[in-house]
């Protein structure tokens, strides 16, 4: 029933208003400016929430950024380290939550430093491993956390003084259990 004289009108979705950048609170803005001044486009700063600033660094820069966090910003320990498996991106992200015991003004402020490494498909012993530089020489408190990430995600930390297994048996010969492609046998 269409004729040459009929015209079709298409409705386009209304354009979304441009998102307004989040205005950082004063403390978070100060941290952000210091890190950006030092590293420029080598880092990406994210406002996580009040009293939490995220810093994303490339693997080749993460050691320098961590050293600046300790020496330039007075953060003195890593509270936790975890990994996130992104098989679709073929990467594993390692996330360091960094705090301060010695500077009272930083007592309830946390920095979340993260970096990504190429995800090797076969992280079994003797194979190429997913590698990142260890932050053990900067923050002593990462020693056991990095060992856990090593065995649970298969990330080998170059420069770590003790990359032995921590929780799994020494003869573990399966994929790291927190990788998304790990399958529990019998299920």
pLDDT by residue (tens digit) across 15-35? 555 666 667 788 888 999 999
If we measure between CA atoms, which residue out of 33, 37, 60 comes closest to residue 47? 33
- What pLDDT was estimated at residue 122? 58
The whole-model pTM stands at: 0.82
Q: Are strands 91-99 and 110-118 parallel, antiparallel or unpaired?
A: antiparallel
How is residue 67 written in tokens? 């050293």
Where do we find the tokens 């012993």?
A: 125
pLDDT confidence tier of residue 183, bands split at 50, 70 and 90: confident
Assess contact for 117 and 95: CB atoms under 8 A. no
41-70 average pLDDT score: 94
Assess contact for 165 and 146: CB atoms under 8 A. no
How is residue 93 written in tokens? 């992200």
- Helix or strand or coil: residue 54? strand
């Amino acid at each position: 029933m269409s004729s040459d004289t009929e015209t079709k009108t298409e409705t386009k979705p209304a354009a979304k208003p441009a998102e307004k950048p989040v205005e950082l609170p004063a403390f978070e803005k100060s941290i952000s400016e210091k890190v950006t001044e030092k590293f420029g486009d080598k880092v990406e700063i994210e406002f996580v929430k009040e009293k939490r600033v995220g810093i994303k660094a490339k693997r080749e820069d993460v050691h320098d950024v961590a050293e600046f966090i300790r020496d330039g910003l007075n953060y003195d320990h890593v509270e936790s380290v975890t990994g996130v498996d992104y098989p679709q991106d073929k990467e594993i992200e390692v996330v360091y939550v960094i705090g301060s015991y010695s500077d009272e003004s930083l007592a309830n402020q946390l920095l979340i430093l993260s970096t990504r490494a190429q995800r090797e498909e076969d992280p079994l012993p003797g194979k190429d491993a997913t590698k990142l530089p260890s932050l053990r020489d900067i923050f002593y408190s990462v020693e056991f956390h990095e060992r856990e990430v090593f065995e649970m995600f298969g990330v080998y930390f170059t420069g770590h003084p003790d990359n032995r297994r921590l929780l799994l048996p020494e003869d573990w010969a399966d994929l790291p259990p927190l990788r998304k492609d790990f399958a529990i046998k019998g299920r």
